[in-house]
Amino acid sequence: MTLTATTPFHPLTELRPPALGEREWLLECHCARPVTDLLKNQGWDVVTDLDCNVHCSSPDQRVYVGFLPESQQAARGELWHIHVTDKDGTTAWRQTFGPATPAQVVAGFLAALITLPTRYCTCV
């Protein structure tokens, strides 16, 4: 699986980190676009329902990403939902992110998930 970058990739060694006092941390962007753009570029299905919730599924249908601003879960502080299933369809794990989490953080989490070539950890 290949991750397609929407912006040029610069290895961390090439980027000069700003001094901590000058750094601007991700604090805003609470729309779905950074995530949906990433997933669409990877061939994922992305559908918006009538309530403006966004549902995304991986090409193999084993990963679901939901941006659910109009759901009961969002009222409880769970705006983003990520579910990964095993080949038999059982839930392997899930992760949620709240409304204060910038969409770029969720996109970074998903980019890491997409780029890992295997389900096995090298330390095992």
The answer to whether the CB of 56 falls within 8 A of the CB of 38 is: no
Extents of the domains making up the chain: 45-112
The span from the CA of 118 to the CA of 99, in Å, is 30
Cross-strand bridge partners of residue 84: 63, 93
- Give the model's pLDDT for residue 5: 47
**What is the mean pLDDT for each group of 10 consecutive residues in the chain (124 residues)?**
49 60 69 95 96 95 95 91 94 94 94 82 70
Residue pointed to by tokens 């080949």: 87
pTM of the model: 0.76
pLDDT of residue 122: 72
Tell me, what's the pLDDT at 1? 46
pLDDT at 81: 97
What pLDDT is attached to residue 116?
83
